[in-house]
A and B are shown apart, each in its own frame.
Chain A
Amino acid sequence: MALYSTPILGDNLDASMRANYTFVRADARAVLNNYYLGLIEDIATGPENDDIDLEGHMAKTETTTETTDDHIQIEELDEELATKAREELGDEKIIEMLRSMVLQRRFEQHAGRAYQRRKIKGFCHLYSGQEAVAVGSMTAATDDDYVVTHYREHGHALARGMEPNGVMAELFGKKTGCAGGRGGSMHLYDVERNFLGGWGIVGGQIALGNGVAFAAKYRDEEAVCLSYLGDGAIHQGIVHETLNMAALWNLPLIAIVENNEYAMGTALERVSAVKELEKKALSYDMASETVDGQDVFAVWDAISRARKRAVTGEGPTWLDVRTYRYHGHSMTDPATYRTKEEVDEVRDLRDPIVRLRNWLVNEDILTQEDIDAIDDEMEKVVKDSVKFADESDFPDVSTLTDNVYVEWPAEID
């Protein structure tokens, strides 16, 4: 065989190579103490969009609506659905929705900054831009419903009503975190709120969501499972295995595809033979639709209807929710696969918070001053959560082996 046609280095080092190993030895400690070496060396660039600033945004759209020339026309919310939401939810609930969305935006801004200060480590995926999906869907859910989601879930957790303090502390790896510092950003849990995580293997969580839906049906609960996944996850085999079972057995599963157009650096159209994801459900004879994910009422409406179907035994729903993420995939992604103009355009024309805010002001439900006050309040809540997280203790080392059967108590034997 031509396998070893090229010279093979000796079994052991020749003299010149051995001399070079001095380098390896001397440097081994220094290098290996830096855990972040290969992994997040791009971190210096930081989140490229920390300038996502609610105030800046609002000020900008406000002035541009007055200057007529290079006038940016932000899209309005669907009027019919907004009217329906107002009737069914009432103004107070809608103000709650705005508050939650603002909370999320502020939370992510401060999480990004904490990451740059190395207070948050590992992988951290920010949710900014997608707030209407979390808030619209959670508003349609009841306390009895379940949530199973993926790693980009800070917004889901906050929208479900989890305490900002506990979520931020989890990001900081503190014992006061919602998973005791064990999970971090990707693995948030709150079983009391039926929030069953926070999972990091793309696509895996949808099967769990189906199992939770199965359990709800098994016990005759009037509950559904909201199961979130990304546009990149939809191709995984397990997603299709799951959809078939969900449809076959009429399970109360609502699969919410947060289609933010990219999976890491890969635009959807580069990897999906089908461009309208709604069609994917056809092969399982499952209800499906495409939803404007930047319109919080549209999300609320679609999930409400899906929920009704699920609890009346009409089976699962698959939703292609069109949204957008403002930050890079994670904190180390310089996002060179899309232009700044593209991001700006979405922010200028479809920002879910600004759209809701415009509607609230136009309907005379809130004034700009009210909204500024909400923003200030949420900013304070988040800043307090950062302080809380920072001041909390790390988990006690004696708890290292809690919650698992440990066969090998020692690390040396």
Chain B
Amino acid sequence: MREIAFREALNEALAEEMKRDEDVFLMGEEVAEYNGAYKVSKGLLDQFGPRRVIDTPIVEAGFAGLGVGAALAGLRPVIEMMTFNFAILALDQVVNHAAKARYMSDGQLSCPLVIRGAGGAGGSLAAQHSQSLEAHYAHIPGLKVMMPSTPRDAKGMLKTAIRDPDPVIFIESEVLYGFKGPVPEEEYLIPVGKGEIKREGADCTVISWSRTIHLCLAAAEQMAEEHGIEVEVLDLRTLRPIDKALVAESVKKTNRVVVAEEGWPWASVGASVAESISRELFDWLDAPVARVHQRDIPMPYAYNLEPESLPSEEKIIEAIRKVCYL
């Protein structure tokens, strides 16, 4: 199968959906003439013209709100946030407006909006530009939250997000944009709310998403090589709603769970996943659920400190050993 980069997979998804549906447009900072700050929208201005690929001033709340309104009026906006650090300027438009529209109108309104862009920590970008904010959105009823970990998932999930009738928050790992992987030539969709087993194993389940999946896969390889422990790596892919069926199936098989995430520990997605497993699958557990997460601090710039703050392969291995009593 051909291999393409994460950003190219997203680009294909955008191009295909814009071609398929005249109501889809892309708006954001530097998306048109500059081809995107991370080149995700490369070539789209040439292909679809300035009516549908639109550069904005630096006004996240303003153009996110425009997206909400356009969606209420029946269009299918894809709003690019240069990064999610800036998306939080538009939190009110998303939380108080987009997420509430269908419910408050008793189902009269739909808000088929995608807010997408780069997220996650790393890259020596320091505290204001290096954070994993998915929990902010996963907390909100009325939103769907997707975070792909591979180019194949990125394409199939973004296409689904664009077709979804509700607001979808789509967070792309900033450090994965250049990551290459197999992507089918033929069209496919990956449903909202469906996780995927990225590696099968019978001894321990590691649950994660986005970039951290790759750390988990590397940790799993090492556990197999060094300890003969077969780790199952479960990629949630969608953080709201969660694929509880897949989680239950895996936990019932392995009886040991690690939840690994890039974000902070308190009130996080990982915390909620661990809580729900502890409560709903208590009888199936042979050890308390272990968690790996970022340190509970803003991100330092110094490049010797940053890795200390982030989750790593080593920390995931330590957690696996803990639940396996090794």
Asked whether B218 lies within 8 Å of A412 as measured between CB atoms, the reply is: no
Bound-state Cα–Cα, A187 to B160, Å: 39
Interface of A is mostly: loop
Which residues on the B side are within 8 Å of A7 (C-beta)?
186-189
Knowing A23-B181, A270-B55, A413-B265, say if A395 contacts B302 (CB, 8 Å).
yes
Bound-state Cα–Cα, A2 to B163, Å: 8
A44 in the interface (beta carbon within 8 A): no
Knowing A13-B196, A406-B297, say if A232 contacts B182 (CB, 8 Å).
no
Asked whether A412 lies within 8 Å of B174 as measured between CB atoms, the reply is: no
Which of A25-33, A91-99, A355-363 lines the interface with chain B? Answer: A25-33
Asked whether B127 lies within 8 Å of A187 as measured between CB atoms, the reply is: yes
Bound-state Cα–Cα, A411 to B290, Å: 10
- Write the chain A residue with the least CB distance to B59: A235
Which residues on the B side are within 8 Å of A21 (C-beta)?
198-199
- Write the chain A residue with the least CB distance to B312: A411
Which residues on the A side are within 8 Å of B22 (C-beta)?
none
Expressed in whole angstroms, the minimum distance between the Cβ of B92 and any Cβ of chain A is 10
A46 in the interface (beta carbon within 8 A): no
Asked whether B62 lies within 8 Å of A181 as measured between CB atoms, the reply is: no
B116 in the interface (beta carbon within 8 A): no
A182 in the interface (beta carbon within 8 A): yes
Asked whether B303 lies within 8 Å of A121 as measured between CB atoms, the reply is: yes
- Write the chain A residue with the least CB distance to B220: A25
Asked whether A186 lies within 8 Å of B126 as measured between CB atoms, the reply is: yes
Asked whether B1 lies within 8 Å of A181 as measured between CB atoms, the reply is: no
A401 in the interface (beta carbon within 8 A): yes
Q: Please encode chain A, from 391 to 402, with 1 for each CB lying within 8 Å of some chain B CB and 0 for all others.
A: 000110100110
Asked whether A264 lies within 8 Å of B181 as measured between CB atoms, the reply is: no
Which residues on the B side are within 8 Å of A32 (C-beta)?
175, 211, 214-215, 218
Interface positions of B from 57 to 94, Cβ below 8 Å from A? 57-59, 61-62, 85-86, 89
Asked whether A29 lies within 8 Å of B189 as measured between CB atoms, the reply is: no
Which of A53-61, A157-165, A196-204 lines the interface with chain B? Answer: A196-204
B256 in the interface (beta carbon within 8 A): no
Asked whether A411 lies within 8 Å of B294 as measured between CB atoms, the reply is: yes
A13 contacts which of B56, B124, B197, B214 (Cβ < 8 Å)? B197
Bound-state Cα–Cα, A123 to B57, Å: 21
B43 in the interface (beta carbon within 8 A): no
B95 in the interface (beta carbon within 8 A): no
Knowing A8-B188, A200-B126, A264-B37, say if A408 contacts B266 (CB, 8 Å).
yes
Asked whether B218 lies within 8 Å of A406 as measured between CB atoms, the reply is: no
Knowing A199-B128, A412-B290, say if A38 contacts B296 (CB, 8 Å).
no
Which residues on the A side are within 8 Å of B181 (C-beta)?
20, 23-24
Bound-state Cα–Cα, A173 to B175, Å: 21
Expressed in whole angstroms, the minimum distance between the Cβ of B198 and any Cβ of chain A is 7
Asked whether A236 lies within 8 Å of B304 as measured between CB atoms, the reply is: no
Asked whether B292 lies within 8 Å of A412 as measured between CB atoms, the reply is: yes
Expressed in whole angstroms, the minimum distance between the Cβ of B15 and any Cβ of chain A is 15
Asked whether A122 lies within 8 Å of B1 as measured between CB atoms, the reply is: no
B103 in the interface (beta carbon within 8 A): no
Asked whether A183 lies within 8 Å of B86 as measured between CB atoms, the reply is: no
Bound-state Cα–Cα, A8 to B159, Å: 11
Expressed in whole angstroms, the minimum distance between the Cβ of A266 and any Cβ of chain B is 6
- Given A8-B188, A266-B29, 10 other A-B residues pairs in contact with their CB atoms under 8 A: A4-B191, A28-B215, A38-B177, A184-B124, A235-B59, A263-B58, A271-B55, A271-B56, A407-B266, A411-B315
What are 16 sample pairs from A and B whose C-beta atoms fall under 8 A apart? A13-B196, A20-B181, A23-B182, A32-B211, A35-B123, A38-B7, A39-B125, A121-B303, A173-B303, A182-B300, A184-B302, A186-B126, A186-B129, A401-B295, A409-B296, A412-B291
Binding site for A on B (CB under 8 A): 1, 3, 6-7, 29-30, 33-34, 37-38, 55-59, 61-62, 85-86, 89, 118, 122-129, 150, 152, 156, 159-160, 163-165, 173-179, 181-182, 186-191, 194, 196-199, 211, 214-215, 217-218, 220-221, 246, 264-266, 290-298, 300-305, 308-309, 311, 313, 315, 318-319, 322
Binding site for B on A (CB under 8 A): 1-4, 6-9, 11-13, 16-17, 20-21, 23-26, 28-29, 31-32, 35-41, 121-123, 173-175, 181-184, 186-187, 199-203, 232-233, 235-237, 263-266, 270-272, 337, 394-395, 397, 400-401, 404, 406-409, 411-413
